[in-house]
Each structure stands twice: as C-alpha cells, then as structure tokens.
Amino acid sequence: MNTVTKIACRTIGLAGMSAVLYDAYSVGKHYSIVGEKSALGRITMDAFAAKRTTTNESPVTSSVQNKVADFRMNNPLIPIWGRTKGFFKGTLSSLGDNIIPVAFSSMAVLGKNTWAKVGAWGMGGYAAFVILKEGFGVGK
C-alpha cells in the first residue's frame, strides 16, 4: 500500500473516531447534568419525607432528624456521584449506539493494507448513509 493510501485511510479513520468521541463526550456531558439533578431530587425527596415523618413527639428526635436531613441535603458527594454516574452512562450509551463507525474507524487506523482500505471505505459508506438518512430523510 503506497503512502498516499495509508495517509488517506488513517485520516478517514481518525476523522470518524473523532466524530464518535465528540458525540460520546457531548452525550455524556448532557447525561451528567441529568444525573446530578436526578440524584439531588431523589435525596431531597427522601430527606424531606424523613424530616416530616416522626415516630414519636420527642424534641430531641425531631432535632436529630432535622440535622440529619440538612446534612443529607447539603452533602457535596451526592451531586458529584450523580454527575459521574450520568457521564459514564451517557458516554457508554453513545459508544454503544455508534459501534459501527467505531469498528470501521478502528479498522482504518489500526489495519494493515486491505483491512485499512475496508475500514476507510466502510467509514465513508457509513458517513454517506448517515448524511442521506439524517440530512435528507431518505428511508425515514
């Protein structure tokens, strides 16, 4: 395989992999915000319910419940955990949805001779398919 063909295959593979990774990062970033809000909503609801329901009328018990509820609602680890969990969920979901371009891009970048050409042509064909389907509505 000559140098120009190698450069073209590697360039197509890197462009495809860049698009997939950018998409995965963007979806992961969106899911991280959703995960943070979901975790905060869940903990707020649980803390509020625990604060409002008491088993007895003791002021000491009520005070302890209020302090624990305030601690749970102001705990900085809950939003961090929600963001992290959401980011990984979104990123892995996006990578799973884009398994075909990941495979073709990997073949184009890492393959030798014929496999690199197959990966580059496959990536080009998949890109054309996505443009026709999503851009022009063919097949929808």
3-state helix, strand, coil in the chain (%, to 5): 85, 0, 15
Of the pLDDT bands very low, low, confident and very high (cuts 50, 70, 90), residue 67 is: confident
> 26-59 pLDDT, tens per residue?
999 999 999 999 988 998 888 888 777 777 778 8
Domain boundaries, given as residue ranges, for the chain: 3-134
Tokens 């995965």: give the residue.
24
How large is the average pLDDT for residues 8-30?
96
CA distance 21 to 51: 44
> H/E/C letters for each residue in 82-113?
HHHHHHHHHHHHHHHHCHHHHHHHHHHHHCCC
Band of the pLDDT at 61, cuts 50, 70, 90? confident
Rounded CA separation 78/43 (Å): 8
Q: What is the pLDDT of residue 126?
A: 96
pLDDT at 4 over 90: yes
Q: What is the pLDDT of residue 70?
A: 84
| pLDDT score recorded for residue 3 | 93
- What pLDDT does 22 receive? 97
Question: What pLDDT score was predicted for residue 13?
Answer: 96
63 burial (CB, 10 Å; 0-12 / 13-18 / 19+) is exposed
